[in-house]
Each structure stands twice: as C-alpha cells, then as structure tokens.
Structure 1
Amino acid sequence: MSPFLGEIIGTALLIIFGDGVVAGVLLNKSKAQNSGWIVITFGWGLAVAVAVYAVGAISGAHLNPAVTIGLASIGKFPWEQVPAYILGQMIGAFLGAVLVWLHYLPHWGQTQEKDLKLAVFCTGPAIRSTGANLISEIFGTFILVLAILAIGANKFTEGLNPLIVGFLIVAIGLSLGGTTGYAINPARDLGPRIAHFVLPIAGKGSSDWGYAWIPVVGPTIGGVLGALFYASVFGA
C-alpha cells in the first residue's frame, strides 16, 4: 500500500469513528443520543488511536494537514510529499463523512435541528467571535503538534504510542475543545463540510462557509508554530 492510500484509509477511519460518535450523540432516536461531550471526546481519541494503528507503519499516519505541514516546516518530512498527503487526507475525510451519513441514514429525517446535522460533519464555535475562534484553533493545534513530537521522543512499550496520542486528543477535547469543538485538523473539518454541502441530507441547512476558513487556517498556523517551538526549545 502506498503512503497516499494509507492517508486516505487512515483519515477515512478517523472520520468514521469521530463523526460517527458525534452523530450518535446528536441525532434523534440514536441509542447514544444526549450521552454528552465526554463521550464525544473519548470517541475522537479512540478514532485517532485506531487510525494510527491502522496506517502508522504505511504513511506515518499524519491524518492531518497541520501535522504534515508542521513536520515539513522543521525538516522532519519532505516538502515534495506534502501535497499528496494533504490530498489523501481530504479524500479520506470526505469519504468517511459520506459513510457516516449512510450509516445514520434514517436519523437525518428524524432530526429537525439543522445545526445538529451540520455539527455531525464539522465544527462550529460555542460563541461566534472570529478572533477568539481563530486563536482557539491555533492554540489547540499548537498543543497537538508540540505534544505529538514530545510523545514521539519518548520510548514506550512497542505499539503503545498510538494509544497515548489518542489520550492526547481526549485531553485536548476536554480541556480546550469547548470553545470551537476543536477541529485542530483542516481535513477533518473541510472534507466533511464539503460532504455536508453536496450530500442530499434530509432537512439540512447551510454548511456555514463563512466560518469554514477558521478550522483550516487556525490549525495550519498552530501546527507550524507548535513544530517550530518544539524544534527550538527541545532542540530536535
């Protein structure tokens, strides 16, 4: 399997489990409905762990353009491979969102709230404030990339790293995710948002394109800053 295909499959798995847990919590007549933010954050953490286990040996399991660009910015990943990785991540995120839509197909028509349907696919702010929302996404992704690099510098029992990264996602969600829903990944937000836009979802509303640039630009900036901070302070 090529790294490009690995990123497609890994990111699709990430979205299947991640958007899937959000759908279970938010959509009407789901058995998981109203189970809350802690369930969502643990679902996303496990989504990351499973995806990294699946394709880590194939592509390094970036699964996130902010990680790919951040690693490239400090010389830990070749720039010439960045476009293919990002394309694979976007394709995988879109496909994963389509599969979540199909899995929950009867539930869309049973859910009247358009904002809840959109939230299954992509993030949105708790309080809409452009500057604060952008800073939130920058800071969350700064912590993500910094911590991933720090975790990678430690020696764990073989095969434990993906699980630790999964717990990192849970920690970021619990501590920092309440402001914007912690996209911290441009592909995770934009790919499913495009899916929301093109799919015939029963009773859907706007895809909120006015906000869509924040979970793309913010994580990209944060990823680069987190990588540069690690390289300069930790000397890696």
Structure 2
Amino acid sequence: MAEISSITVRTQTTILNIEDGRSSGDPRSPDSPCSLICISFVQKLIGEFVGTFSLVFAGCSATVVNDTYGELVTLPGIALAWGLTVMVMSYSIGHVSGAHFNPAVSIALASSRKFPFKQVPGYIAAQLLGSTLAAEALRLMFHLNNNVCSLKGDVYVGTHPSGSNTATFVVEFIATFNLLRANRSFAGVAIGATVVLNILFSGPISGASMNPARSLAPAYIWGCYKDLWLYIVSPVIGALTGAWIYNILRSTNKSYGEIIRPNCNKVSSNDHQEASQDDSDSCVLRVVDPNNRKFFILSSPTDINETCNVTCKLA
C-alpha cells in the first residue's frame, strides 16, 4: 500500500535561518550539518523494510482471516486494517525513512525532486524484501500451499483482476493517483484514510494493490504471475501522475524561509518585549548565529504554541 512519502510530512520544531532562506533542521539542505541526529541511509532502509513488512503482513492477514473464518472481517474491516497500519507505520517510521513502503511512491517522489534518485534502488530493494518475507511468513503460518493460483484452494494473498484488465488498470491508476495527492499536513491520518477509501471502491475490482511490492511478493512466493504487469505498470503511472499534478497545484520553488520572509519584520532584541506586547500573534525566530543573534517577528499565529515555539511543517 502506501507511503507514504510523499509521502510524508516531516514535522519538526526548529530554529530558522531566515537570512539564507533555509531551515537549520532541514535535512534536504545540501550544506546543512546534522545538528542533533543524523539518520544514515542504512537506518532508512531498515525503516522501509520494517514498515513494508508490517504493512503487507497485517493487511494480508486480514484477508486470510476473512476468507478462512467466514468473512468475519468484511471489506470495510480489511480496508481499516490496511489504512490503520499505514497510519501507525507513518507516525512511527516516517521521521526515519519518509514512510514510502511502496516502490511506486519512491519513484514518483524522485521524479518530482522530492527524493534523491540515488536512493531509489535501495528503497525498492528494502520494500521488496520486506513484502516478500511477510508473504512467506503468511504462507507458513496459515499453511497456504494448496492450489493457490487457481483461487479454488487455499487463500491467495496476492492481487488478481476480478473484472477486465482494462477496469483493473484504470482503478489501480486512480487509487494510486489519489494516494500521491493525500494531504501531507496530517501525514498518517490523511494517507491512511486515503488507503481505506481506495480499498473500498477498488478492492472488489482489482484487489486494491496500489503497490508493486505488495503484488510482486505473493506472486513470487506462490509463482502466480498472471496479469502481474497490471499491478506494476498502473500504480507507477498513477503515482507519477499524482505527484506531478500535486506539484503543479501546490508547489513553489521558494524555500520555507523565503515564503515567510515577507511576513517577518526585523527587530532588535531590545524591541522584542515591546513588539510581543503589541502583537499577541507574533513570535520570535532566532537566526542561527551564536556571534550575532538577531530576532524576527512572525506575523502569522499559525503553528505557534503558547511558549512561542514555531513548528515548521516541511512537505
């Protein structure tokens, strides 16, 4: 399922370096040192592996339980299992790897310059490994060995078209397109809810993959490769289209510092107290310069808490 990457939002409280238009805590700044914690690429890969494993294991387990025990879970329950897992993994691992858990998401984010291309192969490898081990664990746990590909024996946790290939291609495209346009302001909640919605309308038609790794892993474990190309090509195209259109609708070439700069008035430290009394919606941002501390007034009360700490949300 998703990612989430795009998806995801990095929410961090930081000190802004307004003069050069970059956040001192923004890991995407090429010349920005690691002030508190440096997340290595290996840590990111481990995060993607753990997140994808948990996602596929939990979501597909719901499918197996539903088909094995008299449809106790039902389609809405399966959708919730996937969506809630995405939400939990996004909040628990998102700050480490970005919570993609989906090759289509990694490719789409890289194509829109929100993720480095050089890390895409490693991410995809970690995602495929996590999903494959999850599928193998399910096979061993539930003894799913009998006539799986024919859909007449044990439960197949992979995806297969229930209708025509054209209908499957279209719904997979739309579902993944929606996934890449989920509002990043509430990260896990937005993406998780989008996953639930996508499964409710596309599950009966295509199986609601939205994720090449989610479909490739069961296909490899059980050797069921029929129509697999639909679940690779369509999600990738849908993710690319969603990311590009989302960028057209909301993107800007300005950094966060450049965006808020027109709303900031430079004041001295002596004027800070007086300015704060005059404007209850103002807050002080300190430029990162230990030798020459300067203060700025932020005119908007957005994301300012009672102690005047500013939370910067970087999409």
TM normalised by structure 1 equals 0.81
Q: Report the equivalent of 2:243.
A: 227
CA RMSD after TM alignment: 2.3
Deviations 1:56-109 (A, max 9, x none): 12111100011111111111000111010011100000011112222223xx47
* Pairs within 5 Å for 1:78-117: 78-105=116-143, 108=144, 114-115=150-151
Q: Report the equivalent of 2:100.
A: 62
* Pairs within 5 Å for 1:55-204: 55-105=93-143, 108=144, 114-115=150-151, 120-127=156-163, 129-147=164-182, 151-152=183-184, 154=185, 156=186, 161-197=187-223
Q: Deviation above 4 Å: which 4+ runs of structure 1?
A: 109-114, 116-119
Find out whether 1:22 has 2:63 as its counterpart. Answer: yes
Change (3 A) 1:117 1:41: farther
Residues of 2 paired with 1:112 and 1:119: CA distance? 6
Deviations 1:17-38 (A, max 9, x none): 01110110112xx3x6453211
Contact kept in structure 2, 1:144 and 1:168, CA below 8 Å:
yes
Contact kept in structure 2, 1:121 and 1:193, CA below 8 Å:
no
| Unaligned residue ranges in structure 2 (runs of 5+) | 1-41, 253-315
Aligned partner of 2:54 among 2, 5, 13: 13
Contact kept in structure 1, 2:145 and 2:154, CA below 8 Å:
no
Contact kept in structure 1, 2:108 and 2:240, CA below 8 Å:
yes
Corresponding letter in the other structure for 2:178: I
- By how many angstroms is 1:5 displaced? 1.4
Residues of 2 paired with 1:112 and 1:224: CA distance? 32
Deviations 1:127-162 (A, max 9, x none): 1x2222212211111111112xxx11x2x4xxxx32
Contact kept in structure 2, 1:26 and 1:116, CA below 8 Å:
no
Count of aligned positions: 211
Aligned sequence identity (%): 32
SS at match of 1:121: coil
SS at match of 2:205: coil
Residues of 1 paired with 2:82 and 2:241: CA distance? 23
- By how many angstroms is 1:167 displaced? 1.7
- By how many angstroms is 1:48 displaced? 1.4
Contact kept in structure 2, 1:26 and 1:120, CA below 8 Å:
no
Residues of 1 paired with 2:238 and 2:60: CA distance? 23
SS at match of 1:177: helix
Corresponding letter in the other structure for 1:26: D
Please identify the structure whose Cα radius of gyration is greater: 2
- By how many angstroms is 1:114 displaced? 4.4
Residues of 2 paired with 1:77 and 1:42: CA distance? 28
Contact kept in structure 1, 2:172 and 2:202, CA below 8 Å:
no
Residues of 2 paired with 1:26 and 1:61: CA distance? 29
Find out whether 1:44 has 2:82 as its counterpart. Answer: yes
Deviations 1:175-231 (A, max 9, x none): 33332011100001101221223xxxxxxxxx1x23111001100000000000001
Contact kept in structure 2, 1:146 and 1:226, CA below 8 Å:
yes
TM normalised by structure 2 equals 0.62
Corresponding letter in the other structure for 1:17: A
Residues of 1 paired with 2:155 and 2:120: CA distance? 28
